[in-house]
Amino acid sequence: MARARATLRDVAERCDVHLSTVSRVLNNKKGYAVSEEVADRIRRTAAELGYKTNPFAYSLRVNRSFTVGVLIPDLSNPIFPPIIRGIEHRLEQSGYTAILGDTDNRVEEERRIVERLKARQTDGLILATAHRADDLIRSCIDEGYHVVLINRSLDDDAVASVVNDDGAGIAMAVRHLLDQGHRKIAHIAGPQEISTGFRRYLAFMEAMQKEGLDPDEDLIAFCHNYSEKEGWAALRGLFEREKPFTAVVAANDLLALGCYDAIIEAGLSCPEDISVTGYNDMPFSDKFKPPLTTVHIPLHKMGEEAASAMLKLIEQTPDKTRQHRVTPHLVVRGSTARCNGPR
Amino acid sequence: MARARATLRDVAERCDVHLSTVSRVLNNKKGYAVSEEVADRIRRTAAELGYKTNPFAYSLRVNRSFTVGVLIPDLSNPIFPPIIRGIEHRLEQSGYTAILGDTDNRVEEERRIVERLKARQTDGLILATAHRADDLIRSCIDEGYHVVLINRSLDDDAVASVVNDDGAGIAMAVRHLLDQGHRKIAHIAGPQEISTGFRRYLAFMEAMQKEGLDPDEDLIAFCHNYSEKEGWAALRGLFEREKPFTAVVAANDLLALGCYDAIIEAGLSCPEDISVTGYNDMPFSDKFKPPLTTVHIPLHKMGEEAASAMLKLIEQTPDKTRQHRVTPHLVVRGSTARCNGPR
DNA sequence: ATGAAAGCGCTAACAA
DNA sequence: TTGTTAGCGCTTTCAT
C-alpha cells in the first residue's frame, strides 16, 4: 500500500529546522533545551501534516518491534478470547500490539508458529499453549526471548507464569459433590503432560482421599487433549467398565460438554442420573443444557497479568514474582444435583 | 529483546562475496546468473548462521508490512474465531500476518483502532465490524488503503465484500416455521444500520408477505446491537405488548439466546410455547438448552475468501468480483417445534 | 540551542 | 558473473 506519509524531513523542511531537532521535540527528549517557540511550530506542523513515526524505520533503529507474540492452541475454545482481550488491553496501554499464533491443537505446528513469530521479531512470547513443549520454551529463553506462560508452569519455575490455583478449584468441585451426597465420583482427567491436567488430577485424588474416599482407578479416565470429543470418548469408556458412579469431575468445560453427550448416548440424563462439573467457567457455560456447574477463573485478568509480566520483562522492570496466582471460585448451576442413591 | 541475528553482511563475509550477491541468491532473483557453486555456498552458510531477513529493514525498504489489519466488534462472539482462523490460514499461505483489532462493540473505538492499525502500516484492512462506519470505510479507501468487508456491504458496492445470502437464509427459517404450523411469528431484528440487520429484516417481511401473512408491526422489535442482552430486552418488550405469537425469528444467535432468557423469565418454555430460530450457527449453538435451530453460514470459508480478496487487492491481481457470496442453509434442532395452537 | 553525520539491514539501480 | 552505491526514515552521538 503506497500511501505518502509525512516524514520527519517533511516536517523539518516546513519548519526550516534540522530534522534531528524535530525528532527531539516530537519525542520530547530532555536535556536538549529547544526554544518553546520552535518546539511549538514543530508540533503544530507535525499535526498538520499528520506525521506518524514510521514503525519500520523506528523498529529498525531501536531493534524492537513493540509487538508480542501470543501462542494459543485453539481460538475456538471460548476461554481464549477473554484471555486474549486481557492481554491486548494491557499491551495497548503501553503501545504494544499482540500478534496471535494459533496451533490448531497440533503440537507439530507449535514450533513452526513460534518460528514465524520470532521471524516477525516479536519482543516477547506469551504462551497459552495447552501442549507441553518444554524444550521449545527452554530454547526460546536460551535465545534470550522473554517468555510468559499462561495457565501452565515449568516444574522449576524458571519462567514467569500466570496460573490459577487448580488445587483449590478442584477441591471446591469435589467438596460440592460430596455435600450433595455423592460418593462414587469419577474424574475425566486432562492430558497429563499439561500442568493443568496433571495438577487437577492430583488435586482430585487428594480431595477424595481427604474425605477418606479412595478414588477408584476404574473411575478415572485420561484425555489426550481438551476437547468435547475426548470428553465424550473418555466417559463412554467409563460406562463400559460398568462400575457405578453418580458424578463426574471433568478437568475442563469442554470435557464436561463431551460428558453431556456420552450421558445422553447412554440413555441417562444430567443431573438426574449423573452430576457433572467443569472447569474454567467459559463463556456460555451458563447457557448449556443443562447449565454447567463449574469452577470460575478470571480469564480476562489472567490475560492482563500475563501482559503486565511481559511488559516488565521487556522493560526490565525488576520483578521477583515468577508465579502470578489467581483465585478460582465455584459456580453452582444446573449440572449438579443431590445424589439419588447408587447407580 | 536484543538477540544477535545474522545479517546479510555476516553471510557475505563468511562467503567472501559481496552482500548484494547474497541478497540475490537468497531471494533467487533471476536475471542475475550467479554460479551454482557460489550460490550453494551462500545458501549453506545462511542456513548455518540461521539467517532470517530482518523484517524491519525489509519493510522499510519495500514499504510494505506484510500484515493486514482485521477489525472485529467482539472477539467473544463465537462467530468470529472461525472467521479469523479462516483469514489467518489464507494469509499465512502468502506470508502475511493478521493483526487483530477489537472494538469491544463500541463505535467510538472503531476510528481509534483503525488509526492504530494504520499507524502499524498494515497493507490492508479487513472489516468484520458489525457497526456502521461508512465514512470511516470511505476515508480508508480515499487514503488508498485496501479494504475488504465481511458480512456487510456498502450500498453502492464500491468495496470488496464477502457476504452470505441473508434473504435466502431468513426465508428458510420462516418457511420452516410455517411448515410447523406457526402463523403468528415475531421478528427480533438486528440493528438497522448494519447490512445484515437490515437485510434480514427485509427478508423476514418479504417471506411473510409471500405467504399472505402481513407481519404485525407489533411483533417486530429492533435491537441496538447483536448481544444476548438486547435480544432479551427486545423479546421482553414484545411480551409486554400482549399480542400473541408462537414463534420468533431472531436476526442472529446471540439475540436468540437472549430470547431464551426472556421466555424463561415469562414463565414459558421453548420450544413448547414458543419456537425460536437464530442465525449464524455459531459454535456451541447445538449445545444450548434447547439446541438452537439456526441458519448455518460457512464462517471459516468467509474468512478465507475475505483474505483471498485482500491478497488480490494487495498483489494487484485483477478481480472484478466485488461481492463474494456464500450460501447459507438451515439447521433444524430443538428450539423449534410444531405449533400448539394460538397463544 | 541547533546542526551534521553515521548507521540500523535491506533492496535495486547502476557499474564493471 | 559480481561489485558499488544510494537510500528507505529514524535515533543518537558528536560537533558547533
For A60-83, how does the pLDDT look when each residue is reduced to its tens digit (9 = 90+)?
Answer: 999 999 999 999 988 988 999 999
Nearest CA to A35 out of A59, A17, A57 is that of A17
Nearest CA-CA distance, residue B207 and chain A, Å = 30
Instruction: Mark whether A23 and A170 lie in a shared domain.
Output: no
Angle, helices A253-265/A228-241, rounded to nearest 10 degrees: 50
Task: Please list the alpha-helical segments (H only) found in chain A.
Answer: 8-15, 19-26, 36-49, 55-62, 80-93, 107-119, 134-142, 166-179, 195-210, 228-241, 253-265, 299-314
Which helix (DSSP H) or strand (DSSP E) does residue A324 occupy?
Answer: strand A323-326
Distance from CA of B97 to the nearest CA of A (A): 8
For A259, A284, B164, the CA distances from A290, given in Å and listed in that order, are 12, 11, 32
Are residues A183 and A239 located together in one domain of the fold?
yes
Residue of A nearest to B103 (CA): A85
Domain assignment present for B16: yes
Residue with CA nearest C1' of nucleotide C7: A61
Residues A9, A11: Cα–Cα separation, whole Å: 5
Per CB-CB distance under 8 Å, the chain B contacts of A2 are: 63, 144
C-alpha A159/C-alpha A139 separation (Å) is 12
Probe site for chain B from A1, A100, A227, A316 (most B CB atoms < 10 A): A1
A148 touches strand D (CB under 7 A): no
What HEC string does A263-288 produce? HHHCCCCCCCCCEEECCECCCCCCCE
* pLDDT confidence of residue B307: 97
Minimal CA–CA distance to B70: which of A150, A129, A59, A88? A88
Q: Is residue A16 situated within a structural domain?
A: yes
CA distance B102 to B110: 8
pLDDT at A211: 86
Nearest CA among A336, A244, A243 for reference residue A290? A336
CB contact under 8 A, B60 and A64: no
Give domain status of residue B341, yes or no: no
The CATH number given to whatever domain includes residue B57 is: 1.10.260.40
- My answer on whether A119 and A152 are in the same domain is yes
Number of domains composing chain B: 3
Low-confidence ranges of chain B (pLDDT < 70): 1-3, 32-33, 130-133, 155-157, 341-343
3-state secondary structure of B189: strand
pLDDT for res B139: 85
Handedness of CA A279, A284, A290, A296 (dihedral sign): positive
Residues B262-288: pLDDT tens digits?
Answer: 999 999 999 999 999 999 999 889 888
Q: How many Cα atoms within 13 Å fall on the side-chain side of residue B334?
A: 12
The answer to whether the CB of A115 falls within 8 A of the CB of B97 is no
* Residue A255, in any domain of the structure: yes
- Same-domain pairing of B183 and B272: yes
The set of cell numbers assigned to B290 is: 434447547
Residue A333 lies in a domain: no
Domain boundary among A46, A61, A76: A61
Q: Is the dihedral of CA A33, A39, A42, A48 positive or negative?
A: positive
B291-323 pLDDT, tens digit each: 999 999 999 999 999 999 999 999 888 777 788
| B100 and B170 part of one domain | no
The domain in which residue B244 lies consists of 166-297
CATH code assigned at B202: 3.40.50.2300
- The answer to whether residue B237 is domain-embedded is yes
- How does the average pLDDT of chain A come out, rounded? 91
Give, as ranges, the nucleotides of chain D with any atom within 7 Å of a protein CB.
1-5, 7-13
Whether residues A195 and A285 fall in one domain: yes
pLDDT in tens, A240-288: 999 999 999 999 999 999 999 999 999 999 999 999 999 999 988 988 8
Q: Mean pLDDT highest for which of A2-11, A334-343, B73-82, B136-145? A: B73-82
Asked if B25 and B135 sit in the same domain, the reply is: no
pLDDT at A258: 95
Residue A141 to residues A9, A126, A316, Cα–Cα distance (Å): 39, 12, 15
For residue A176, pLDDT over 70 is answered with yes
Look at residue A181 and tell me if it is in a domain: yes
pLDDT at A1 over 60: no
Specify if B1 maps to a domain: no
Q: Are A287 and B98 a contacting pair at CB < 8 A? A: no
Interface test with B, best of A8, A54, A56, A289 (most B CBs within 10 A): A56
More confident residue, A159 or B60: B60
A60 CB inside 7 Å of strand C:
yes
Return d(Cα B162, Cα B301) in angstroms, integer.
10
In chain B, residues with a C-beta closer than 8 Å to the C-beta of A97 are: 99, 116, 120
pLDDT above 80 for A4: no
B58: CB partners within 8 A, 6+ apart: none
Q: Please answer yes or no on whether B257 and A291 come within 8 Å at the CB atom.
A: no
Closest CA to B240 of B256, B218, B259, B222: B218
Q: pLDDT band for position A302 (50/70/90)?
A: very high
Shared domain for B132 and B201, answered yes or no, is no
- Assess whether A148 and A229 both reside in one domain: no
Using CA atoms, how far apart are residues A170 and A151, in angstroms rounded to an integer? Answer: 15
| Same domain? A107 vs A157 | yes
More confident residue, A138 or A186: A186
Q: Identify which of B74, B78, B56, B51 has the alpha carbon closest to the alpha carbon of residue B66.
A: B56
Per-residue pLDDT tens for B44-83?
Answer: 998 989 999 999 999 999 999 999 999 998 898 899 999 9
| Same domain, residue pair B183 and B279 | yes
Asked if B206 and B179 sit in the same domain, the reply is yes
Cβ–Cβ under 8 Å, residues A325 and A267: no
Q: Which of A36, A61, A86 is the last residue of a domain?
A: A61
Amino acid at A263: I
Q: Rounded to the nearest 5 degrees, what angle is found at the Cα of A252, between the Cα atoms of A248 and A253?
A: 90
State percent of chain A over pLDDT 90.
Answer: 67
